[in-house]
Amino acid sequence: MKLTTCKNWISPLMILAIAGLLVVSCQKKFEEPPLTGAPDVVANTSIKDIKARYTGGNPVEITDDVILEGIVSCDDKSGNYYQQIAIQDATGGILLRMAGSNHYNNFPVGRQVFVKCKGLFLGQYNGTLQLGGGVDAAYASQGGVTLIANNLQDQHLVKGALNQPLVPQVVTVAQLTTGLQDKYVSTLVKLEGFEFSANELSKNYADDDQSGNRIIQGCTNPTTNRITLRTSNYCNFATRKVAQGNGEIIGIYSFFGSTKQFTIRDTTDVRFTNPRCPTAAGGGTISLTTSPVTINFDALGTSGLPAGVYIKQDASSTFIGNEATVYNGNFNTPTAWNQISFGFKNFASATGLASTATSTVQSASANRALGARQTGTATAGGDPGYAFAFQLANTTGKSNLVLEFLLQSLDASTGTGRTTTWRVDYGIGDDPANFTTVASTPATLTTTFGTGTFASTPVTVNFGNTLNNISQKIWIRVVALTSTTGGGNRPSTGIDDVKFSWN
C-alpha cells in the first residue's frame, strides 16, 4: 500500500501563529519610550546669571556655550501670551520670544526646557528681559530683540520632561519691583486677599478693541496695595466678566516702565470666591449667630455699609447686579429726601419725623436709612436694576428664616406721581445664576414720588423651609426689576431696621 507523505505541508494554524509572533516582536522592537528628560543636555548657568549680562541699552549677544534649564510657567494656549513663553528656575524667570503660534503643543506649562543660548540676544521690552533671535533695529537702543525664527527654534530649545512641579511664590505688591534684575519678573507668583476694584466689576477682562488694564487690590491700603491685571483682547476669555469676589490670584509678574503688571494664564488662576473687603460700597457677609440679627444704618455716615450689605445696579432675575458706582460722598454727607440727583444715599429715616421735616432737621437726625433714587440713564443702571442686597454666610442648622424691614417712601413733594415697584428675592451661591421671588406682607411693595406720599411700611418675608440648612452663601435682595410707572421725578426710597430671625 502506497503512503502519502506530508513533508512539504505546513498547517495554516502554524502560519497564523508565526505571523502573530512576528507582529508582536515588531511592535516591541519599534515601541518608543516616553520622553522623561533630555539626558544629553546639561544646564551650565542660571536664569539669574544670564539676566545679569544685560544692564541697559542695546541687546547683548550671547557668544559662549551657555545652557539654561527652566520650567514653562506660561504658554500661549489661551492667547493671553502671543509669540512668547515664560520659563523659570530657582533663581528667576525670563521670556523667550518665538515666531509662530500654538507653542503650547510643544512647550506647555510644566514642561522642562533647555535653552542653548549661544547665538541668541538678550534685551528688554520696557524693563522686562527677553531672549530673542536678533536685534530689533528700530528699537535697538531700547533693548529690542526680534523673534527666534521657526527654523532656529529646534537648535536652541530642547524639550524635557512634562508635568514638572511649579509652585507659585506667595508675594506682596511691595515685594515686586521694577528693577531689571527683579527675581520675580516672568515667574509664577500668587497674591492673596485681592479683588477687582469696585469700578472694574462691571467690565470684562479686556475691551472689545484693545487689551484690558484692570486694577486688582488688597483690603488694606488699597490705593497703594494694588497692581494692573493685563489681559489681551485676543485671548479666549477676553469677553468674560471679571470675578466679583475676593481671594487669591496666580499669574506671571512683569512690568512696563514704572507700571507693575500681572498676567493670568486663564481664569482658573483667579480664585475670587470669598466675600469682598468691607467698604462703603459693601462687603463681607452676615453671620446668623443668635436670632434675631438686626441691622440699622445709623453709622452709615461714619462707617459706611454694615458687613454683608451691598448696593447694586444693573440687577436682573439672573444677575446679582454690579457694584453701584454712584453713592452720595461714600455716604459721608446726609442727603435730603427731596434731593433729586440719582444714586444710593444716606437719608434720615422716616421714623420719628414728619414729611415736612426740613433738610436741617433731617441732617441732624441720628436715625438713618439706606436710600436710593433711580434714574433713567442707562449707564447708571437705576431704572430698573437698583437693589439693596444682603449676603448671608449660610443657614447651616437653621430653619424658617424670616426677613423684616421698613420700606420708606420719603419724598412727598408735590408732583404728578411716579412709582417704583420693589420685590424680595433670593439666590444661592457666590454668584447665583437665578433669583426666586418670595411673597411678602404686604404683597405689593411700592414707593412713590409726589402726590403727598410719605410712608414707612413694615414688610415681612417668610421664607418657610426654602432656605433651611443651606451651607452656601445666600443673597437676599430688595430689588426693582421693572421700570417705574407714572411721570415726574423718581421717588426717594429708604430701607431701615432690617431684621433676620429663625428657628
Hey, how many other C-beta atoms are within 10 angstroms of the C-beta on 78?
21
Judgement on whether residues 330 and 463 belong to the same structural domain of the protein: yes
What is the structure's pLDDT at 465? 97
Q: What does the alpha-carbon distance between residue 194 and residue 225 come to, in Å, rounded to a whole number? A: 9
* pLDDT of 243 higher than 90: yes
* pLDDT tens digits for range 19-36: 444 433 344 333 334 444
| The three three-digit cell numbers of residue 17, written as one number | 501563529
Q: Which residue matches cell numbers 415681612?
A: 460
Q: Mean pLDDT lowest for which of 255-259, 327-331, 370-374, 490-494?
A: 327-331
For residue 406, being part of any structural domain is answered with: yes
What is the structure's pLDDT at 39? 53
* pLDDT tens digits for range 409-459: 999 887 778 999 999 999 999 889 899 999 999 999 999 987 768 999 999
What is the structure's pLDDT at 318? 92
- The domain that contains 354 carries what CATH number? 2.60.120
For residue 75, being part of any structural domain is answered with: yes
CB 460 within 8 A of CB 402: yes
What is the structure's pLDDT at 381? 58
Last residue of a domain, one of 130, 159, 188: 159
Beta bridge partners of 112: 71
Q: What does the alpha-carbon distance between residue 108 and residue 193 come to, in Å, rounded to a whole number? A: 28
CB 455 within 8 A of CB 409: yes
Confidence of residue 7 (pLDDT cuts 50, 70, 90): very low
Number of domains, the chain = 3
Q: Is 100 left (phi over 0), alpha (psi -120 to 50) or beta?
A: left
Judgement on whether residues 496 and 445 belong to the same structural domain of the protein: yes
CB 42 within 8 A of CB 68: no
What is the rounded average pLDDT of the residues 73-91? 97
Judgement on whether residues 259 and 307 belong to the same structural domain of the protein: no
What is the structure's pLDDT at 22? 40
Judgement on whether residues 87 and 214 belong to the same structural domain of the protein: no
Q: DSSP character for 174?
A: G
Judgement on whether residues 394 and 493 belong to the same structural domain of the protein: yes
For residue 5, being part of any structural domain is answered with: no
What is the rounded average pLDDT of the residues 105-134? 97
For residue 476, being part of any structural domain is answered with: yes
Torsion angle in degrees (nearest 10) through CA of 466, 468, 471, 472: 30
What is the rounded average pLDDT of the residues 80-99? 97
Judgement on whether residues 465 and 337 belong to the same structural domain of the protein: yes
Q: Mean pLDDT lowest for which of 45-49, 100-104, 204-208, 261-265?
A: 204-208
Last residue of a domain, one of 274, 303, 336: 274
Q: What does the alpha-carbon distance between residue 82 and residue 102 come to, in Å, rounded to a whole number? A: 9
For residue 28, being part of any structural domain is answered with: no
CB 337 within 8 A of CB 411: yes
* pLDDT of 230 higher than 60: yes
Instruction: Kindly give the pairing relationship between strand 246-256 and strand 259-263.
Output: antiparallel
For residue 477, being part of any structural domain is answered with: yes
Q: What does the alpha-carbon distance between residue 274 and residue 287 come to, in Å, rounded to a whole number? A: 14
Q: What does the alpha-carbon distance between residue 238 and residue 231 come to, in Å, rounded to a whole number? A: 7
The enclosing H or E element of 17 equals helix 12-30
What is the structure's pLDDT at 61? 98
Work out the burial of residue 12: count CB atoms within 10 Å of its CB; fewer than 13 is exposed, 13-18 middle, 19 or more buried: exposed
Q: What is the mean pLDDT of the chain?
A: 89
- Of 137, 129, 133, whose CA–CA distance to 49 is shortest? 129
Question: What share of the chain has pLDDT > 70, as a percent?
Answer: 89
CB 497 within 8 A of CB 294: yes
Confidence of residue 376 (pLDDT cuts 50, 70, 90): confident
Judgement on whether residues 133 and 200 belong to the same structural domain of the protein: no
For residue 14, being part of any structural domain is answered with: no
CB 156 within 8 A of CB 114: no
* pLDDT of 194 higher than 80: yes
Q: Which domain holds residue 56?
A: 47-159
442 preceded by a cis bond (ω within 30 of 0) = yes
Beta bridge partners of 251: 189
What is the structure's pLDDT at 377? 67
Q: How far is CA 373 from the centre of its chain?
A: 29
The enclosing H or E element of 156 equals helix 150-156
Judgement on whether residues 401 and 476 belong to the same structural domain of the protein: yes
- The domain that contains 140 carries what CATH number? 2.40.50
| The three three-digit cell numbers of residue 101, written as one number | 503660534
Judgement on whether residues 60 and 152 belong to the same structural domain of the protein: yes
Judgement on whether residues 315 and 394 belong to the same structural domain of the protein: yes
What is the structure's pLDDT at 275? 73
Confidence of residue 378 (pLDDT cuts 50, 70, 90): low
Confidence of residue 278 (pLDDT cuts 50, 70, 90): low
